[in-house]
Amino acid sequence: MAAPSLPPKKLELPPKPVQELIKTERKQVPERYIQQHLKNPVDQPEINYMDSSIIDFSLLSNSSPRQREELQKLRNNLSSWGCFQLINHGCSSSLLHRLREVHKEFFALPLEMKKKYSRTLDWIEGYGSDTVTEDQSYNWNDRLQLKVYPVEQKNFKFWPEEDVQNFRETLNEYAKNMRRVLEIILKAIAKSLSLEETTFYRECEGEQGIYMLARFNYYPPCSSPDLVFGLKPHSDVSAITILLQDNEVEGLQVQKDDQWFKVPIIPDALFINIGDQLEIMSNGILKSAMHKVVIDKDRERMSMAVACSPHPEKEIGPLGELIDQERPQSYKNVKNYVRVYLQYSPTAERAINAMKIK
């Protein structure tokens, strides 16, 4: 099916990174970053932490005597939250530490050096921000985005190896680990739904291989954190996203039954959420988690997300195994969902709604 299209809107990038902006405009948040509906906030109820939703990776393997129990837990987490925290995933603390160090070093570089790796309006990779349309506000976020799979599609011109020692080696090692974790998780999710274990993995892998994009997020502090979003409420375009949170500063929140919950920091855990493409493939059994990032008044926050998707040219749709009379196909098949998502993402409307068969 051809992707449904919205009338094209002119996209733009913020003129300055937020990191630079706060050097000159310490007190006043520029209008363009102010989220209009946060301007007059109604009394916000206290935001609670999400219930503990920890999955132990080491119990998911076929040889574990507690696999069944853990798969059940995984299924419950996914149907209630669409996300979970993964522990014992086999990435060493030393690797996570090194990744955080290169992340920090990159954002500590002078602007002129970071600019060598700048993204452009028409390409997602590189240093910059998300594009928005002219009537949209900006996120309080700078980032460096790099393709890490398929390996032959890496664009090293965006990799700051020249200026950040061991960047390439560290990200490559981390990406390899994410590839390993992803495969096991996709298999576990299929098993938890009583499907053949390679069901989702095969769909994501396709002929061209899984597509993985690493996104190094940097959220500077903000003098009026209640007026801005680090990232506006969104669901991810991916099939699955694997996030390494900041180990000191909170900020991530997820939505459940129209309420927001804080995601606690669990040292060295990976936060994993379902994205739109797995919701589509699962015919709606798995729900793509809505989440957002709020900003700290005094401290910067860093997080590293790896978005994992089928190749953009691969057509996806609800899997035959998950369609029957009781659950008819409720999403259209779609090719290049990323393009659809990008058309919708600056608007309040969610792209996945355009995929639903009403």
Binding site for ligand OGA (CB under 6 A): 215, 217, 231, 236, 243, 245, 251-252, 291, 293, 303, 305
Residue placing its CB nearer to ligand OGA in the complex, 212 or 322: 212
Residue placing its CB nearer to Ni ion in the complex, 139 or 199: 139
Which one of Ni ion, ligand OGA, none interacts with residue 217, CB within 5 to 8 A by kind? ligand OGA
Residue placing its CB nearer to Ni ion in the complex, 245 or 283: 245
Which one of ligand OGA, Ni ion, none interacts with residue 114, CB within 5 to 8 A by kind? none
Residues 6+ apart with CB under 8 A from 259: none
The separation between the first and the last C-alpha atoms of the chain, rounded to the nearest angstrom, is: 16
Residue placing its CB nearer to Ni ion in the complex, 70 or 236: 236
Which one of Ni ion, ligand OGA, none interacts with residue 303, CB within 5 to 8 A by kind? ligand OGA
Q: Which helix (H) or strand (E) holds 243?
A: strand 240-244
Query: Scanning the structure block, which residue is given the tokens 């102010």?
Result: 34
Which one of ligand OGA, Ni ion, none interacts with residue 103, CB within 5 to 8 A by kind? none
Alpha-carbon distances, residue 280 vs 193, 287, 344, 358 (angstroms): 15, 9, 16, 14
Which one of Ni ion, ligand OGA, none interacts with residue 60, CB within 5 to 8 A by kind? none
SS3 content of the chain, % helix, strand, coil (to 5): 35, 20, 45
Using the rule CB under 5 A, is 203 a contact of Ni ion?
Answer: no
Residue placing its CB nearer to Ni ion in the complex, 125 or 236: 236
Bridge partners of 213, per DSSP, are: 147, 307
Looking at residue 121, its amino acid is: L
Packing angle of the helix pair 93-108, 167-192 (nearest 10 deg): 130
Q: For 57, left (φ over 0), alpha (ψ -120 to 50), or beta? A: alpha
Query: Which one of 125, 236, 268, 300 is in contact with Ni ion (CB under 5 A)?
Result: 236
Q: How far is the CB of 251 from ligand OGA (least distance, A)?
A: 6
Chain residue whose CB lies nearest ligand OGA: 303
Encoding tokens for residue 97? Answer: 């530490």
Encoding tokens for residue 104? Answer: 């920090």
Where do the H-state alpha helices sit in the chain? 18-24, 67-80, 93-108, 111-114, 167-192, 199-205, 276-281, 337-344, 351-355
Which one of ligand OGA, Ni ion, none interacts with residue 293, CB within 5 to 8 A by kind? ligand OGA
Using the rule CB under 5 A, is 279 a contact of Ni ion?
Answer: no
Q: How far is the CB of 322 from ligand OGA (least distance, A)?
A: 26
Q: How far is the CB of 241 from ligand OGA (least distance, A)?
A: 6
Count how many Cα atoms sit within 13 Å of the Cα of residue 199 in the half-sphere of its side chain.
19
Interacting stretch for Ni ion, rule CB under 5 A, among 37-45, 153-161, 231-239, 340-348?
A: 231-239
Using the rule CB under 5 A, is 276 a contact of Ni ion?
Answer: no
Interacting stretch for Ni ion, rule CB under 5 A, among 5-13, 122-130, 146-154, 230-238?
A: 230-238
Residues that contact Ni ion, how many (by CB under 5 A): 1
Which residues form the interface with Ni ion (CB under 5 A)? 236
